[in-house]
A = this chain, B = another copy of it.
Amino acid sequence: MISPSSYRTHPSPFESGLRSDGKRMTPQRKKVLSLFEEIGSGIHLSAEEVHSKLTISGEKVSLATIYRTLRLLVKMTFLNELDLSEGGNRFELLSHDHPDHHHLICIRCGRTEEFENNEVINAGKAAAENFGFKLLESSLNVRAVCPMCLNK
């Protein structure tokens, strides 16, 4: 008789990515990626926010490990790292439907909206090409004040 635990379940893309590189799956790594997958795309969290969200829901992962894991997840292209300025870098689930979006940030309250724009993508491509650079990524940050912060 085959016990339930002996079923060989498909390793997740995360797990197989790790394995193929001599790295290991750990509960901490699972928790960090799951957090992003549960809250979905369009949310931009700082390392501290990831830490406190996990802590609040009873999971204990040290801040050092969170930083290490975020770096790893960015390198593995599960997450995207954003430099929106003001209080630390932020991370978001890399959504394959909206890979190249940009950000509109309220400098007062931090509210962040996303938008897509092909001209911006093309502008980045064109600039890199003109100077003979190999393009990696281009990011447009629009700093502004949101309606709520405007009238008060």
Which chain A residues have a beta carbon within 8 Å of chain B's beta carbons?
83, 85, 102, 104, 106-107, 113, 115, 117, 119-120, 122-124, 126-128, 130-147, 150
Contacts and interface: CB of A to CB of B under 8 A. Distances in A.
The 3 closest A-B pairs by CB, nearest first: A119-B119, A133-B144, A138-B142
A107 B134 CA distance: 10
Nearest to A117: B123
A104 B131 contact: yes
A147 B123 CA distance: 19
Contact of A131 (B113, B139, B140): B113
Contact of A150 (B83, B126, B134): B134
A137 B132 CA distance: 27
Nearest to A148: B132
Contacts of A128: 104, 142, 144
A81 to B, nearest CB: 10
Contacts of A106: 133
B113 A136 contact: no
Contacts of A127: 102, 104, 113, 115, 117, 142
A123 B119 contact: yes
Q: Which of A85, A123, A142, A150 has the most CB atoms of chain B within a 10 A radius of its CB? A: A142
16 contacts: A83-B85, A102-B123, A104-B127, A104-B128, A107-B136, A119-B123, A123-B140, A124-B142, A131-B147, A134-B144, A134-B150, A135-B142, A137-B143, A139-B143, A140-B140, A141-B141
